[in-house]
Structure 1
Protein backbone atom coordinates (compact mmCIF):
# COMPACT_ATOMS: atom_id res chain seq x y z
CA UNK A 1 0.00 0.00 0.00
CA UNK A 2 1.54 3.31 -1.05
CA UNK A 3 0.11 6.69 -0.13
CA UNK A 4 1.25 10.00 -1.53
CA UNK A 5 0.44 13.62 -0.81
CA UNK A 6 0.57 15.79 2.26
CA UNK A 7 -1.70 13.83 4.61
CA UNK A 8 -2.95 10.26 4.73
CA UNK A 9 -5.79 9.26 7.04
CA UNK A 10 -5.89 5.59 7.99
CA UNK A 11 -9.17 4.88 9.76
CA UNK A 12 -9.43 1.46 11.25
CA UNK A 13 -12.81 -0.24 11.23
CA UNK A 14 -12.50 -3.65 12.85
CA UNK A 15 -9.14 -5.36 12.28
CA UNK A 16 -6.93 -4.36 9.36
CA UNK A 17 -3.60 -5.98 8.47
CA UNK A 18 -0.97 -4.37 6.27
CA UNK A 19 1.27 -7.08 4.81
CA UNK A 20 2.77 -4.86 2.09
CA UNK A 21 5.09 -1.91 2.66
CA UNK A 22 3.43 1.40 3.51
CA UNK A 23 5.11 4.61 2.30
CA UNK A 24 3.60 8.03 3.01
CA UNK A 25 4.38 11.68 3.70
CA UNK A 26 2.18 11.79 6.84
CA UNK A 27 -0.03 9.10 8.35
CA UNK A 28 -2.85 9.48 10.88
CA UNK A 29 -4.46 6.45 12.53
CA UNK A 30 -7.85 6.66 14.24
CA UNK A 31 -10.49 4.30 15.54
CA UNK A 32 -12.10 3.00 18.73
CA UNK A 33 -9.40 1.75 21.12
CA UNK A 34 -10.91 -1.57 22.18
CA UNK A 35 -12.55 -2.31 18.82
CA UNK A 36 -10.40 -1.13 15.90
CA UNK A 37 -6.92 -2.55 15.26
CA UNK A 38 -4.32 -1.98 12.56
CA UNK A 39 -1.49 -4.54 12.37
CA UNK A 40 1.54 -3.43 10.38
CA UNK A 41 3.45 -6.57 9.42
CA UNK A 42 5.71 -5.08 6.74
CA UNK A 43 7.89 -2.04 6.13
CA UNK A 44 6.51 1.32 7.28
CA UNK A 45 8.10 4.53 6.00
CA UNK A 46 6.73 8.01 6.72
CA UNK A 47 8.78 11.14 6.03
CA UNK A 48 6.77 13.70 8.02
CA UNK A 49 4.54 12.83 10.99
CA UNK A 50 2.87 9.65 12.27
CA UNK A 51 -0.17 10.52 14.42
CA UNK A 52 -2.23 8.07 16.51
CA UNK A 53 -5.64 9.55 17.38
CA UNK A 54 -7.31 6.31 18.45
CA UNK A 55 -7.61 2.61 17.88
CA UNK A 56 -4.86 0.08 18.41
CA UNK A 57 -1.81 0.22 16.13
CA UNK A 58 0.64 -2.69 16.25
CA UNK A 59 3.98 -2.18 14.54
CA UNK A 60 4.46 -5.96 14.48
CA UNK A 61 7.31 -6.18 11.96
CA UNK A 62 10.74 -7.03 13.31
CA UNK A 63 12.05 -4.35 10.93
CA UNK A 64 12.10 -0.94 12.65
CA UNK A 65 9.40 1.45 11.44
CA UNK A 66 10.51 4.76 9.96
CA UNK A 67 7.98 7.00 11.69
CA UNK A 68 9.08 10.30 10.13
CA UNK A 69 10.34 13.30 12.03
CA UNK A 70 7.54 13.27 14.61
CA UNK A 71 5.45 10.62 16.38
CA UNK A 72 2.30 11.92 18.11
CA UNK A 73 0.10 9.75 20.36
CA UNK A 74 -3.09 11.61 21.29
CA UNK A 75 -5.23 8.57 22.08
CA UNK A 76 -5.30 4.84 21.39
CA UNK A 77 -2.71 2.14 21.99
CA UNK A 78 0.59 1.80 20.09
CA UNK A 79 2.83 -1.29 20.29
CA UNK A 80 6.35 -1.65 18.89
CA UNK A 81 7.89 -5.08 18.34
CA UNK A 82 11.15 -4.06 16.60
CA UNK A 83 14.38 -3.93 18.53
CA UNK A 84 14.95 -0.20 17.89
CA UNK A 85 12.65 2.43 16.39
CA UNK A 86 13.82 6.04 16.24
CA UNK A 87 12.07 9.40 15.82
CA UNK A 88 13.29 12.99 16.18
CA UNK A 89 10.32 14.35 18.16
CA UNK A 90 7.90 12.36 20.34
CA UNK A 91 4.69 13.96 21.64
CA UNK A 92 2.28 12.09 23.91
CA UNK A 93 -0.91 13.78 25.12
CA UNK A 94 -2.85 10.58 25.85
CA UNK A 95 -3.10 6.94 24.89
CA UNK A 96 -0.62 4.16 25.63
CA UNK A 97 2.82 3.28 24.30
CA UNK A 98 3.80 -0.36 24.89
CA UNK A 99 5.52 -3.45 23.57
CA UNK A 100 8.85 -5.23 23.81
CA UNK A 101 10.56 -2.87 21.35
CA UNK A 102 12.74 0.15 22.00
CA UNK A 103 11.70 3.70 21.06
CA UNK A 104 14.60 6.15 20.86
CA UNK A 105 13.74 9.88 20.58
CA UNK A 106 15.75 13.11 20.27
CA UNK A 107 13.19 15.29 22.07
CA UNK A 108 9.91 14.65 23.81
CA UNK A 109 6.89 16.45 25.20
CA UNK A 110 4.79 14.40 27.62
CA UNK A 111 1.48 15.77 28.86
CA UNK A 112 -0.62 12.62 29.28
CA UNK A 113 -0.99 8.94 28.55
CA UNK A 114 1.04 5.99 29.78
CA UNK A 115 3.96 3.74 28.87
CA UNK A 116 3.72 0.04 29.64
CA UNK A 117 5.54 -3.20 28.98
CA UNK A 118 9.03 -4.55 28.84
CA UNK A 119 10.28 -2.16 26.11
CA UNK A 120 12.57 0.84 26.52
CA UNK A 121 11.86 4.55 25.99
CA UNK A 122 15.21 6.30 25.46
CA UNK A 123 15.56 10.08 25.33
CA UNK A 124 18.70 11.30 23.57
CA UNK A 125 17.89 14.98 23.97
CA UNK A 126 15.39 17.19 25.77
CA UNK A 127 12.15 16.68 27.70
CA UNK A 128 9.34 19.24 27.70
CA UNK A 129 6.64 18.82 30.28
CA UNK A 130 6.70 16.54 33.29
CA UNK A 131 8.39 13.17 33.37
CA UNK A 132 6.51 11.35 36.12
CA UNK A 133 7.13 7.82 37.32
CA UNK A 134 4.19 6.52 39.33
CA UNK A 135 5.51 3.01 39.70
CA UNK A 136 8.79 1.24 40.29
CA UNK A 137 11.70 2.23 38.11
CA UNK A 138 14.63 -0.10 37.58
CA UNK A 139 13.02 -3.29 38.85
CA UNK A 140 12.64 -6.40 36.70
CA UNK A 141 14.65 -4.96 33.84
CA UNK A 142 12.65 -1.74 33.41
CA UNK A 143 14.89 1.16 32.45
CA UNK A 144 14.75 4.92 32.11
CA UNK A 145 17.76 6.03 30.08
CA UNK A 146 18.50 9.75 29.62
CA UNK A 147 21.50 10.34 27.35
CA UNK A 148 22.94 13.82 27.62
CA UNK A 149 22.69 16.55 30.25
CA UNK A 150 19.79 16.22 32.65
CA UNK A 151 18.51 19.15 34.65
CA UNK A 152 15.53 19.39 36.90
CA UNK A 153 13.93 21.06 39.86
CA UNK A 154 11.51 20.12 42.55
CA UNK A 155 11.74 17.66 45.38
CA UNK A 156 12.21 13.97 45.82
CA UNK A 157 10.15 12.57 48.65
CA UNK A 158 10.78 9.12 50.05
CA UNK A 159 7.77 7.20 51.32
CA UNK A 160 7.38 7.24 55.12
CA UNK A 161 8.17 3.54 55.29
CA UNK A 162 11.63 4.16 53.77
CA UNK A 163 12.67 7.18 55.84
CA UNK A 164 15.45 6.77 58.33
CA UNK A 165 15.02 7.72 61.93
CA UNK A 166 17.14 10.83 61.42
CA UNK A 167 14.75 12.15 58.79
CA UNK A 168 12.43 14.96 59.86
CA UNK A 169 8.80 13.92 60.07
Structure 2
Protein backbone atom coordinates (compact mmCIF):
# COMPACT_ATOMS: atom_id res chain seq x y z
CA UNK A 1 0.00 0.00 0.00
CA UNK A 2 1.20 3.50 -0.73
CA UNK A 3 2.17 5.77 2.13
CA UNK A 4 -0.20 8.51 0.93
CA UNK A 5 -3.19 6.20 1.37
CA UNK A 6 -2.20 4.91 4.81
CA UNK A 7 -3.20 8.13 6.55
CA UNK A 8 -6.61 8.00 4.88
CA UNK A 9 -7.53 4.33 4.99
CA UNK A 10 -5.31 2.74 7.63
CA UNK A 11 -2.58 0.11 7.66
CA UNK A 12 -4.72 -3.03 7.47
CA UNK A 13 -6.97 -1.85 4.65
CA UNK A 14 -6.81 -2.93 1.02
CA UNK A 15 -7.48 -0.23 -1.57
CA UNK A 16 -9.81 -1.49 -4.29
CA UNK A 17 -10.42 1.41 -6.66
CA UNK A 18 -10.93 5.09 -7.24
CA UNK A 19 -12.68 7.17 -9.85
CA UNK A 20 -11.99 6.45 -13.51
CA UNK A 21 -10.91 8.92 -16.17
CA UNK A 22 -14.54 9.15 -17.24
CA UNK A 23 -15.38 10.91 -13.98
CA UNK A 24 -13.32 13.87 -15.21
CA UNK A 25 -15.29 14.39 -18.44
CA UNK A 26 -17.88 16.70 -16.87
CA UNK A 27 -15.36 18.99 -15.17
CA UNK A 28 -13.25 19.04 -18.34
CA UNK A 29 -16.23 20.37 -20.30
CA UNK A 30 -16.92 22.95 -17.59
CA UNK A 31 -13.24 23.99 -17.60
CA UNK A 32 -13.26 24.42 -21.37
CA UNK A 33 -16.40 26.56 -21.18
CA UNK A 34 -15.01 28.69 -18.37
CA UNK A 35 -11.47 29.20 -19.68
CA UNK A 36 -12.19 29.37 -23.41
CA UNK A 37 -15.73 30.77 -23.36
CA UNK A 38 -16.38 32.92 -20.32
CA UNK A 39 -12.83 34.21 -19.78
CA UNK A 40 -12.50 35.78 -23.27
CA UNK A 41 -15.94 37.36 -22.80
CA UNK A 42 -14.82 38.81 -19.47
CA UNK A 43 -11.82 40.44 -21.17
CA UNK A 44 -14.29 42.37 -23.34
CA UNK A 45 -15.55 44.16 -20.21
CA UNK A 46 -12.30 44.80 -18.35
CA UNK A 47 -9.23 43.14 -16.94
CA UNK A 48 -10.57 43.06 -13.38
CA UNK A 49 -13.61 41.07 -14.49
CA UNK A 50 -11.32 38.69 -16.36
CA UNK A 51 -9.08 38.30 -13.30
CA UNK A 52 -12.15 37.48 -11.19
CA UNK A 53 -13.42 34.95 -13.71
CA UNK A 54 -9.96 33.36 -13.91
CA UNK A 55 -9.63 33.09 -10.12
CA UNK A 56 -13.12 31.67 -9.56
CA UNK A 57 -12.75 29.27 -12.49
CA UNK A 58 -9.37 28.00 -11.29
CA UNK A 59 -10.70 27.46 -7.76
CA UNK A 60 -13.84 25.70 -8.99
CA UNK A 61 -12.03 23.40 -11.41
CA UNK A 62 -9.23 22.67 -8.93
CA UNK A 63 -11.69 21.82 -6.16
CA UNK A 64 -13.73 19.50 -8.39
CA UNK A 65 -10.62 17.65 -9.63
CA UNK A 66 -9.34 17.16 -6.07
CA UNK A 67 -12.78 16.02 -4.95
CA UNK A 68 -12.96 13.40 -7.70
CA UNK A 69 -9.47 12.18 -6.78
CA UNK A 70 -10.46 11.83 -3.12
CA UNK A 71 -12.85 8.90 -3.69
CA UNK A 72 -11.26 5.67 -2.42
CA UNK A 73 -13.09 2.36 -2.05
CA UNK A 74 -11.35 -0.08 0.28
CA UNK A 75 -11.99 -2.95 2.66
CA UNK A 76 -10.55 -4.10 5.95
CA UNK A 77 -11.38 -6.69 8.63
CA UNK A 78 -14.57 -4.87 9.61
CA UNK A 79 -16.18 -4.08 6.24
CA UNK A 80 -16.18 -2.15 2.97
CA UNK A 81 -15.63 1.60 3.12
CA UNK A 82 -15.74 4.66 0.92
CA UNK A 83 -13.53 7.58 1.88
CA UNK A 84 -14.11 10.94 0.21
CA UNK A 85 -13.83 14.68 0.72
CA UNK A 86 -10.97 17.16 0.80
CA UNK A 87 -12.11 19.95 3.10
CA UNK A 88 -11.98 19.18 6.84
CA UNK A 89 -15.75 19.57 7.28
CA UNK A 90 -16.57 17.44 4.23
CA UNK A 91 -14.15 14.54 4.73
CA UNK A 92 -15.86 11.35 5.67
CA UNK A 93 -16.10 7.60 5.51
CA UNK A 94 -19.24 5.58 4.78
CA UNK A 95 -19.41 1.85 4.68
CA UNK A 96 -21.06 -1.50 5.10
CA UNK A 97 -19.85 -4.00 7.67
CA UNK A 98 -19.18 -7.53 6.43
CA UNK A 99 -21.96 -8.95 8.63
CA UNK A 100 -24.47 -6.53 7.05
CA UNK A 101 -23.29 -6.80 3.44
CA UNK A 102 -25.72 -8.29 0.94
CA UNK A 103 -23.65 -8.39 -2.24
CA UNK A 104 -21.50 -6.24 -4.48
CA UNK A 105 -22.56 -5.77 -8.09
CA UNK A 106 -21.73 -3.67 -11.13
CA UNK A 107 -23.73 -2.43 -14.09
CA UNK A 108 -22.51 -4.07 -17.30
CA UNK A 109 -23.02 -2.26 -20.59
CA UNK A 110 -21.03 -1.56 -23.74
CA UNK A 111 -19.83 1.89 -22.68
CA UNK A 112 -18.64 0.74 -19.25
CA UNK A 113 -16.85 -2.21 -20.83
CA UNK A 114 -15.22 0.03 -23.43
CA UNK A 115 -14.10 2.69 -20.94
CA UNK A 116 -13.39 0.26 -18.08
CA UNK A 117 -15.47 2.54 -15.87
CA UNK A 118 -18.25 0.87 -13.92
CA UNK A 119 -21.14 1.83 -11.68
CA UNK A 120 -20.86 -0.37 -8.61
CA UNK A 121 -23.23 -1.09 -5.75
CA UNK A 122 -22.36 -2.58 -2.38
CA UNK A 123 -25.69 -3.60 -0.90
CA UNK A 124 -26.80 -3.61 2.71
CA UNK A 125 -28.92 -6.57 3.84
CA UNK A 126 -31.37 -4.53 5.88
CA UNK A 127 -31.68 -1.09 4.35
CA UNK A 128 -31.15 0.54 0.97
CA UNK A 129 -30.21 3.86 2.57
CA UNK A 130 -26.96 2.38 3.91
CA UNK A 131 -25.72 0.88 0.65
CA UNK A 132 -22.82 2.34 -1.32
CA UNK A 133 -23.49 3.28 -4.96
CA UNK A 134 -20.62 4.74 -6.99
CA UNK A 135 -20.46 5.78 -10.63
CA UNK A 136 -17.40 5.95 -12.85
CA UNK A 137 -15.13 3.66 -10.86
CA UNK A 138 -11.90 2.40 -12.40
CA UNK A 139 -11.42 -1.36 -11.97
CA UNK A 140 -14.96 -1.52 -10.58
CA UNK A 141 -15.57 -4.94 -12.09
CA UNK A 142 -12.47 -6.32 -10.37
CA UNK A 143 -13.39 -4.62 -7.09
CA UNK A 144 -16.81 -6.30 -7.12
CA UNK A 145 -15.24 -9.72 -7.73
CA UNK A 146 -12.74 -9.16 -4.92
CA UNK A 147 -15.42 -8.03 -2.46
CA UNK A 148 -17.77 -10.91 -3.22
CA UNK A 149 -14.92 -13.42 -3.01
CA UNK A 150 -13.71 -12.07 0.33
CA UNK A 151 -17.28 -11.97 1.66
CA UNK A 152 -17.86 -15.62 0.66
CA UNK A 153 -14.56 -16.61 2.26
CA UNK A 154 -15.58 -14.94 5.53
CA UNK A 155 -18.91 -16.80 5.44
CA UNK A 156 -17.20 -20.16 4.75
CA UNK A 157 -14.75 -19.63 7.63
CA UNK A 158 -17.64 -18.77 9.95
CA UNK A 159 -16.26 -15.30 10.65
CA UNK A 160 -19.70 -13.82 9.89
CA UNK A 161 -23.15 -15.33 10.09
How does the TM-score come out when normalised to structure 2?
0.24
More helix, by proportion: 2
Greater relative CO (CA pairs within 8 A, separation 6+)? 2
CA radius of gyration, larger in:
2
How does the TM-score come out when normalised to structure 1?
0.23
More strand, by proportion: 1
